[in-house]
Structures are given as structure tokens and as C-alpha cells.
Chains A and B, each alone.
Chain A
Amino acid sequence: MTKISKKRLYLVLGCVLVFYAVLAIAPAFAQDMTEAEYRPFPLIGSRSAAWIAAQLHLLFGSFILGVPMFAVIIEFIGWKTKDMRYDRMAQEFIKLCMGAFSTTALLGGVLVFILIWCYPKVMSKLSGIFGPTMIFYVILFFGETFTLYLYSYGWDKMQGRHKGWHLFLGVLLNVWGTAIMFVSNSWLSYQTSPATQHGVLSEMRKKSWMEEQLAADPSLTPETVMEGVTDHSMIPLHNEVTGEFMGTVWDAVNNFTWMPINIHRLVGNIAFGGSIVAAYAAFRFLVAKTKEDKAHYDWMGYTGNFIALCGLIPLPFLGYWLGREIYLFNNTMGINMMGSLFSWLFIIQAVMIGVLFIGANYYLWSGMGRIDGAEVYARYRPWMIIAIIVSVAIWMTPRTLSKISSASELSAMGGANHPHLGLFGLMTAKNTVVNIIILTTFLSFLFYRRSGKVPTVGWRKVGNIAIFSICVFAVVAIIVIGIVGFSVPTDFRVNILTPYQVLIALALMAIVTVIDIFMYRKATTSGTINWGEMTDRSQYVLILIAITFTSLMGLMGYARSGLREAWHIFGVMQDTSVDAFTPLLSEAVNMVAIIMVAFFALVGFIFWLGLWGEKKKQEKAAVEAEVAAQGDD
């Protein structure tokens, strides 16, 4: 086939594709364009279109928020330790961020178009409430864009004495990014929990509510009208009949789930950014040809995974806080989430988080294999594996079987709970094992940190005994509190016992870290870290962790949105579209799988572009060097 005929073939194929694309979207333009409540998206439907665009935008958003956080931390470490490897790695990732940044903006635009096209009334309602924040969002976006340009393009110029200013730009970039996330979180969290806690409700709304009450009941006085008002639901933000919003913008922004989602996502982004960096390093490690490259990417993978772990460990606690706020806003929604409609989703979530923790621990243990002198800790490994596997199994135990059991099975069980294993399905059991998993992972990291080092301080024996005693005391205390939790009222468990469990776990990690730092401050090394001698399996684990993180984010997106059930704004604006039903878990996870493939394909493309540019640059530099050498001759 000649070149011309090939061109013709491509032309024909292109025309056919365009023709089919026009055919596909033509019905959409043939619709009634008058003011509509909903407009269908061609082929895949409005919900699927909005779902895919929103989730992809969110994943890329997390990428461009998480990676700069990672970069600034790494750059700071490099600056302080004067190790240029950190600086180069941070710069490498910021370059990759540039491509991802425009993709995020592109996807954001697509999402907005889909929402305005398919859900005009919902968008009209939301923009009517959040208009001022949308202007603020645009300002923040400009700030973030230009700061990113300065941060990236000024990297080489701002070395040496300007490094502090460069780091300031990095921090500023993260401040802009985080602020953007906080603003957009306010919109979606309002949709889930459109109410403000009484204590922080605006004076304007309180005043208008008082006037309504006084007008409705002449027996009330301005002094008595507020008596007994303690509950958020007593001063609603919306007219109960029309759904009209009656508060201030801040009342809508500062809703029940806004701050928990902000913090949960902020820390989640750190973990996500770290895991993506680690996965990238794993890929480069596996395809590396030289020992130097393998050593570099081994180190990069370790660093990325370390940052991911730092984010992963507090995430369950923050998730618990978010869940608690959901219960406070609407108890039924909370029960739907954990004990009813979505309970099986959280079992799948437990599977994924189990994979994350098992993977992270495996990577650490595998990493100890390349450290001389780490063998002393190998004897603890089986016990730690057992602790994690048993804990994950308990975490995966469903609370209620009502959704998957027939009437006869329910009757045979004597209810919706399994007579024996049902105990493990209760939150007190799950909270307990989550703490155990986190502490086990912390212990793995502690052993990793100690590997190849010998403490020289005189009190090292006492220190070790103290650490051992603290660990035993904390684990026993956490388990005892968990057992007591079975027999106390829920309120007491949620408000008293569980926070104490968390505090004990956090205190253990803080105290042991401090002791360990002092104990190993002047430690001698018994062996070196042989960077680059990691197994291939461990690199696959890093990729597994990144994919699991991403899948988990997709699944949680479904949960957060699905919790509203058939409401655009829970309790205020009902979803009356053809999609006003909650998709099955299996359907949702299939959709998440499609989004995952699209996301990793796009990220892979961006990484490939980065490598391509780098390769071209290296080739050009090599040619120039050769020419210069010839000129010298």
C-alpha cells in the first residue's frame, strides 16, 4: 500500500468516525431547548457522563494537589539535608504536574458543561446559593496557576540563597490548591448535609427564624422564642415547603460535613500523591537497565511509599470523624451508610484498605531484606502478619446480612445479624482492629527505621523495655476498650470509648517515636542500605497500592454521592430524573473500573510525554557535547 492510499484510508476512517459521532450526538441537539429540568446526555446518559467527568476531575485534582505537597516536603528535606537527589526528584514531579494541571482544568471544564447541560435546575439552584464562592474559586485558580508557573520555571534560577523563597512559592502553591479544594468541597458537602450546626449558625438566619416564629405564634416573645433551641434541625436553612435557601453563604459553606471532608481529602491527597510517585518509581525501577537507575528509583519508591504511609495512617481516624458528622447531621443517613444500604460497600472498602495495609507492610518487610543487620527483626514478622490478617478479616465482617439474605435465612439466623460472627460486625470490633492494624504498621516502620543501626546510648535497654511496655499496655487497653464497647450504649461508645482508643494509638506512636529518635540519635551503623536490590515483587506492590488508593477514591465518591439517595440536595431538592435510583454496588464498581482505566491511561500518557521530552533533551545534549568535542579537536 502506497503512502497516498494510506492517507486516503485514514481520511475515510476519520470521516466515518466523525459521521458516527454526529449521529450519536444529533438527538441531543434535536431536543426541546426550552427551560428543562433535565436534558439527557447522548449514548451513556447524564449520570454516567457526570460521574465519569467528576471522578476523573477529582482524581487529577488529587494528583495535582497531592504531588506538589509531596514535592515541597521532598524539596525541604533536600534543602535541609543538602542531598540533591531530593531536589531533583521534586523537580521531576513538578514537571509532570504541569501536564496533569492542564488535564485537570480540561476535565473540570467538561464537568461544568455536562452539569449545566444535563442538570440546569440543579446548577441554577447551587449557583444561586454559592455564586460568591464561585468568583472566589476563579481568583484562587488564577493564583494557583501563576504560582505553579513560577514554582516550576523558577526552579533552577532559585537555587542557593533563593531556595527559601522557592520553598515559599511551593507552600503558597499548596495553599492555593488547598483553598480551591475547600471551596469546591463546600458545594458537594452542602448537597450531602445542607444544614449548619446551631452554635455556628449566622445571626441573620437566627434573626429571620425568630421573626418567623414570633409571627406564627403570638404567645412567644423575643426572650422566650430561643428557649430550648439546641438542635440544628430546629432552625432549618430552607423553607420546608418550597426548599428556598434562607441562610447566608457561610451557613451553606460551613455545613456538617464540610470540614471533615476537607481534612479527609487533604490528608488523602498526601497519601495519594505519595502512592502515585511510588508507582511511577516502581515502573521506572522495573524497566531500568543500569544499577544506578535501579538504586535511584528504589530510593524514590521508598520515599513515595513513606509519604503515602504517613498519610494513610491517620486516614481511618479522619474517616471516622466524617462518619460521625454524617450521623450528627442525619442519623438515618449514617445508618444507611454503615448499617444498611451501603454497608456492603464498606465491606469492599475494608477489603481495599486491608490490601493497602498488607501491601505497605509487605513493602517495608521486603525493604528490610536489602538492609544488612535487619535480620534480627525477622522473628516478629509472622506475628505481625497474623495480627494484620486477623484484623482485616474482622474489619471485613458485615454488620447486617439483611440485604443479602432471604426471609428464611433471616429467620434461621434469628435476625439480620449472624449469631456468632455478627459480633465482629459491630463498630466497636472494627474500631479496635483498625487501631491494631495501624499500630502494627507503625511497628513495621519502626523496625525498618532501626534496621542496620545500633544505638549507643547507655539507657537503650531501659528504652526498649519502656517501648515494649507502652506497646503492650496500649494494645491491651485498646482491646479491653473494644470489648467493653459491646456492652455500653452507643452514645457512650461513640463519644467516650472510641476517641480514647484513638488517643491511645496516637499517643503510643508519638511517645515511641520520640523515644526512638533520641535512642538512635547517635547510633552506629551495622550495615548499609543496598539501594536497588529490592525484589520485583515489591515494586508490583507499590503499583498495587496506587491502584487500590485510586479505586478506593472512586468507590468513596460513589458512597458520598449515593448517600443522598434520590436527592440532589438531601431533604431539599429531590432528584426526579430517570436516574433517580441508586445503582447496584457491582454496577458502581464496574463504573469505577472504567474510570480507573481511563485515569491510568491518561496519567501514563502524561508520564510518557515527560519521559519523551527528557529523552529528546538528553539526545540533544549528547549531540551538542559531541559537536563541541569535535570543535575542540
Chain B
Amino acid sequence: MSRNTLIKIASLILMVVSFIAYIAGASAFPIASENLLPWSAWFLISVIVNIILWSNVVKLLTFSLAVIWFYAFVAGLVPESSTAVNLTELDWSDPDAVAEQGALVFNGKGQCAACHTVDTSAPPGRCPDLTDIGVNAATRVPGMDAKAYLIESMYQPANFLVPGYGKIMPEVWKAPINLSKLEIEAVIAYLQSQGGEIDPTPFDEPIDRADIGTAAEALPPLLTGDPELGKKVFVDVACISCHAVTGIESPAAGEVNEEDFEVVTAPDLSEIAAFNDMRYLEESILLPGAQIVSGYGAVTVRAKGTTFQGTLVSQDTEKIVVRTKTADGTEEEHTILLTEIDDEPIEELTNLMARGYFTLTLTPIDADASVTGEIVSETDETVTLKVGDENRMFSKTDVKSQMTVITFDGDEIVGDHVSGTMDDYEIILIVDGSEEVFDTLDLDLDGTAMTRARGKKLLVTSPMPENFPLILTVADMTNLLSFLSTLTGATAEAVPEETTEAPAE
């Protein structure tokens, strides 16, 4: 076989291989360990060689493959970006953060940007331009304030139509867009940010998602899920380990199952569907911490020097009741006044409320005395405390920091921080009114701590694992929801079967 023929065959093989590798998304083909050449480049090289060396038939095949590849390549050039939002970990007291997430919903899942523009210079879209809608919303319908108008526009868009525009906006809380209440709240905050004042406080939805027709339309998994398979999922993924359901045998609380998972007491689900809609059930599985049933939240709180770890039984404005379990399994209830909860040092003043802090003690940089108050609201830059009867806003950056250092002699020294960290040569603190300089080589690295404030903390979490979105397939989830929807407290015979009967004449 001549050298020319070998080159031709090698080039042909390379073209086919590089085409398959490109389509299959294989990683780049190395020509040297430090030099990688993508399959698309190999493909192009072999195409050129084949067109030069081969005669008509192979040349034609090469051309055909190159055209097919070209379209795949062009489509691969389209960048894909995610407009996924994270509303559950969002700091809802920060209006700007809420509006930012709302903008993502507006341009992403909500598909609002497909019709609405937020730019007066842009060509008119299918729906009104929303520049300054935060202000203009208050002028649309007499007697209706901006937020009320925006809420109505989201839920019942046909109630009021801007002159010149048709009835084309869908009800975004219904299929196929299916915006949740949180997503709608975020979009409204974004719309308010267009010239208006953002008010991210929750509102009551003017619709009833539990309405059977609405629920079925918005949550069609019910239409196809199999309750019997869902029951199997309920047992297989160990829901039954903690949640009791009439008619299914469950292990006793306190036992440890094969997966080393301790059985804890969780709400009885025998009648869960009688009082809750599907969206609540779905949210409870995917985001167990979003709403915690009273008496079932896990809490760790430190008061009067003792740490209490257990279940939050009740809570009011003055006290909490925590149920703990001793080593021998005995349960005890402790009533703890909120004022008795110990102050904890706080290093970073971010997301205080999300982290469970409800009081704060800080020293403003221009004041000598510290201030203590109940946290009312916060943003990235500020925190508002209720001090006495008045609300006072403090900058999070303009507070005095305290630093604790421990010398190698074992002396613990606390003072107002002036400058320096353990990365520097020296640290300067004001201790008892006088400035003291510490050589960092003389300090214990592990004993150094910076404190920007102190605060009382009460964080309630759900003891339910958060990995269900990972371990459940869509079909499992649908079946599980179908099963849960049958738990109305009625007898097992009431489980609906998918009907195959002909429609009544």
C-alpha cells in the first residue's frame, strides 16, 4: 500500500472518529500532554485533507459530513446561561437582594421579558413597557396602591388592561409557567424597584391554590402519579421511619435503623391532605425548612451557661419551651426566658436574622457605650435595632470591633481593636482606655478572636433531611405526592383510581 493511500485512509478514519467524538462531546484529543487540540479542529483538518486527496465519492461524503457538522457546531456556539434563583436561602429583609432575584425570575422562569420591556427606548413589546412601574402602578387604578396593583396584575392580569394592549398575559401562577408565591413576591419586589420603594413583606395570595380545579391544573402530577407506587416510595426512602401514617407499620421513636438513622418523632401524616394543598406537600419534601410544624422544629440554644438541644415545643414573645432527651431516654421540658439566652460573640454581621439572631449588642464607632436592641430589619450595609421605644439604624461597617488575644503566658486580653491581625507584625488594641501594642509572635494564633458584636440567637431547623430532591426521581416524587394526596383521614378504599370509564353522555 503506497504512502499516499495510507495518508488518505488515515485521514478518512480521523474524520469519522473526530466527527463522532465531537458529537458525543468527548474531551479534547491530545497531540502532546501540554497541548490539547479540540476534536472540531481535527475534524476540520481531516475534512480539508480528504477534499484535497480523495476523488469524487469520498469528497462528496466528506462535504456532506462537514455540512452536518457545521450546523451542530453553530448550534453549539449559542451560549447557555442559567437564570436559576435561590429564594429559600435569600435574605428577605434585604429589599435589593429580593429585587435582584426577582429580576432573574422576570427574565427567566417567569418569561416576563419575552413580552415586557423595561426600557423606554426599546421598541414596543407585546405588553406595556415597565419602566418606572414601581411608581406608575399606584396611578393605574383609582384607590389601589402600587403593591396591590402589582399583586392583582400578577394573579389576575385581565382585571385591568393598559389601554392599547390585549388580554394576552397568562396567569403566571398556573401551568405552564407555574410561579410559586415566593417567586411572585420576588418579581413584585423587582417591579417595585423600577422607580418605587421596595416592600418585600409577604402578602396573602388573592387565589386559593388549594382549590381543586386550580390545584389540578397547577400541579398536574396528580393526574399521572400512582398512589400505590408512592406508598412504596414512602416506605423505601424511610419517610415512615419518622412520620406515622395510619395503616403502615412504623418503627418506634428512638430506634436506630439499618442506615444508622435515628427515628425521631415527626408529624403524623395520616390526614395531611385534608388540611394542606399539594404545593405545601411538595415544598415540605423539597424544602423541609421552609415551614416547620409547631412543636417539631429542632433547636440548639445556650442559656445560663447550659446548652439545650432538642425540640422546640412552643414559643411566645417572652419565652420558649424546649424538650430535651437525656442519655437514658427520659424527656424533659425546659422553659427558657428569651432574656436568659446567652449572648454569643458575632464575627461577621451578615445575614443576622437568617442565622437566628434576634437581639444585638454593638458599639458604634463614634460612641463610647454599647447599644443593645431587638433586631427589626437589616440590609447588607445596615441593621435596625429597636432600642427602648425607638428604631435606630446602624451601619454594619461603622462598629467597633473587639479583639481577644491570648499571650503565650496564658493571659487573655480583651480590647477595642485598632489595627492589625495575626497576619501582620503587630496588633494594636485599646485596653482599659490605653493603647497597647502586641507583637504577633508573642500571641497564640488559635486564641485570637475578633468580635464585631454580641447577640442572642434562636435558630429553629427542620430535623428532616434535605437530600430528597437528590434521591427522588421525578416519577418517585409524582407518585409520592399522589400517595400523600390520598391521606385525607378517609379509609383506604377512598384512594382514587385513574378512571378508564367512558364519559357520561
Q: Which residues of A contact B (CB under 8 A)?
A: 37-38, 121, 128, 208, 240-246, 283, 286-287, 331-333, 335-336, 339-341, 344, 347-348, 351-352, 400, 402-407, 410, 413-417, 419, 422-423, 426, 486-487, 489-491, 540, 543-544, 547-548, 551, 555, 565, 567, 570-574, 576-578, 580, 584-586, 588-590, 592-594, 596-597, 600
Q: Which of B25, B63, B223 has the most CB of A within 10 A?
A: B223
Asked whether, in the complex, the Cβ of A332 is within 8 Å of the Cβ of B23, the reply is no
Asked whether, in the complex, the Cβ of B226 is within 8 Å of the Cβ of A578, the reply is no
Q: How far is the CA of A547 from the CA of B62 in the complex (A)?
A: 13
User: Which B residues are in CB contact (< 8 Å) with A414?
Assistant: 118-119, 121-122
How far is the CB of A418 from the nearest CB of chain B, in Å?
Answer: 9
Q: How far is the CA of A416 from the CA of B122 in the complex (A)?
A: 10
Which of chain B's residues 95-144 have a Cβ closer than 8 Å to chain A?
100, 103-104, 107-108, 111, 113-115, 117-119, 121-124, 126
Between-chain CB contacts (< 8 Å), 24 pairs: A241-B223, A243-B220, A245-B503, A286-B56, A332-B170, A335-B111, A335-B114, A335-B115, A400-B114, A402-B113, A417-B123, A419-B119, A486-B123, A551-B67, A571-B175, A571-B217, A574-B478, A585-B75, A586-B72, A589-B76, A590-B25, A590-B76, A593-B71, A597-B65
How far is the CB of A229 from the nearest CB of chain B, in Å?
Answer: 16
Asked whether, in the complex, the Cβ of B224 is within 8 Å of the Cβ of A283, the reply is no
User: Which A residues are in CB contact (< 8 Å) with B115?
Assistant: 335, 339
How far is the CB of B479 from the nearest CB of chain A, in Å?
Answer: 8
Asked whether, in the complex, the Cβ of A403 is within 8 Å of the Cβ of B503, the reply is no
User: Which A residues are in CB contact (< 8 Å) with B473?
Assistant: 578
Contact with A along B473-487 (1 / 0, CB 8 A): 111011000000000
User: Which A residues are in CB contact (< 8 Å) with B113?
Assistant: 400, 402, 415-416
The answer, among A402, A422, A573, A588, for a CB contact under 8 Å with B224, is: A573
Total A-B residue pairs with C-beta atoms closer than 8 Å?
A: 199
The answer, among B60, B71, B224, for a CB contact under 8 Å with A348, is: B71
The answer, among B56, B69, B220, B226, for a CB contact under 8 Å with A287, is: B56
Asked whether, in the complex, the Cβ of B107 is within 8 Å of the Cβ of A416, the reply is yes
List of 5 A-B pairs having minimum Cβ-Cβ separation, nearest first? A589-B75, A414-B119, A339-B114, A416-B113, A340-B114
User: Which A residues are in CB contact (< 8 Å) with B274?
Assistant: none
Verify if B505 is at the interface (C-beta below 8 Å from A): yes
Verify if B227 is at the interface (C-beta below 8 Å from A): no
User: Which B residues are in CB contact (< 8 Å) with A341?
Assistant: 111
User: Which A residues are in CB contact (< 8 Å) with B221?
Assistant: 574, 576
Verify if B168 is at the interface (C-beta below 8 Å from A): yes
The residue in chain A whose Cβ has the minimal distance to the Cβ of B22 is: A590
The residue in chain A whose Cβ has the minimal distance to the Cβ of B500 is: A128
The answer, among A407, A572, A580, A585, for a CB contact under 8 Å with B100, is: A407
User: Which A residues are in CB contact (< 8 Å) with B175?
Assistant: 571
User: Which A residues are in CB contact (< 8 Å) with B60?
Assistant: 283, 286, 540, 543
User: Which B residues are in CB contact (< 8 Å) with A593?
Assistant: 23, 68-69, 71-72
Asked whether, in the complex, the Cβ of A573 is within 8 Å of the Cβ of B71, the reply is no
The answer, among A352, A423, A574, A594, for a CB contact under 8 Å with B71, is: A352
User: Which A residues are in CB contact (< 8 Å) with B119?
Assistant: 413-415, 417, 419
Asked whether, in the complex, the Cβ of A547 is within 8 Å of the Cβ of B166, the reply is no
Asked whether, in the complex, the Cβ of A403 is within 8 Å of the Cβ of B104, the reply is no
The residue in chain B whose Cβ has the minimal distance to the Cβ of A488 is: B124
How far is the CB of B495 from the nearest CB of chain A, in Å?
Answer: 14
How far is the CB of A365 from the nearest CB of chain B, in Å?
Answer: 20
Verify if B469 is at the interface (C-beta below 8 Å from A): no
How far is the CB of B38 from the nearest CB of chain A, in Å?
Answer: 14
Q: Which of B72, B117, B474 has the most CB of A within 10 A?
A: B72
The answer, among B72, B80, B475, for a CB contact under 8 Å with A590, is: B72
The answer, among B24, B65, B121, for a CB contact under 8 Å with A419, is: B121
User: Which A residues are in CB contact (< 8 Å) with B256?
Assistant: none
Q: How many residues of B contact A (CB 8 A)?
A: 69
How far is the CB of A612 from the nearest CB of chain B, in Å?
Answer: 15
Verify if B329 is at the interface (C-beta below 8 Å from A): no
Contact with A along B53-84 (1 / 0, CB 8 A): 00011001001110111011011101111010
From known contacts A402-B83, A403-B81, A489-B165, infer whether A589 and B220 are also in contact, taking CB-CB under 8 Å.
no
Which of chain B's residues 159-203 have a Cβ closer than 8 Å to chain A?
164-166, 168, 170, 175-177
Q: How far is the CA of A335 from the CA of B166 in the complex (A)?
A: 15
Q: How far is the CA of A331 from the CA of B165 in the complex (A)?
A: 14
Asked whether, in the complex, the Cβ of B67 is within 8 Å of the Cβ of A548, the reply is yes
Q: With A403-B83, A573-B224, A586-B76 given, can you name 20 additional A-B contacts, CB distance below 8 Å? A: A38-B475, A121-B224, A241-B212, A244-B499, A287-B57, A333-B176, A335-B126, A407-B104, A415-B119, A490-B168, A540-B63, A548-B67, A551-B67, A565-B176, A567-B220, A571-B217, A573-B220, A578-B473, A580-B474, A593-B68
The residue in chain A whose Cβ has the minimal distance to the Cβ of B79 is: A404
The answer, among A38, A407, A547, A588, for a CB contact under 8 Å with B67, is: A547
Verify if B498 is at the interface (C-beta below 8 Å from A): yes
How far is the CB of B164 from the nearest CB of chain A, in Å?
Answer: 6
Verify if B388 is at the interface (C-beta below 8 Å from A): no
User: Which B residues are in CB contact (< 8 Å) with A406?
Assistant: 81
User: Which B residues are in CB contact (< 8 Å) with A336?
Assistant: 111, 114, 176
From known contacts A574-B223, A593-B68, infer whether A410 and B78 are also in contact, taking CB-CB under 8 Å.
no
The answer, among A340, A544, A590, for a CB contact under 8 Å with B111, is: A340
User: Which A residues are in CB contact (< 8 Å) with B225?
Assistant: 576
Verify if B264 is at the interface (C-beta below 8 Å from A): no
How far is the CB of B321 from the nearest CB of chain A, in Å?
Answer: 42
From known contacts A540-B63, A597-B65, infer whether A586 and B75 are also in contact, taking CB-CB under 8 Å.
yes
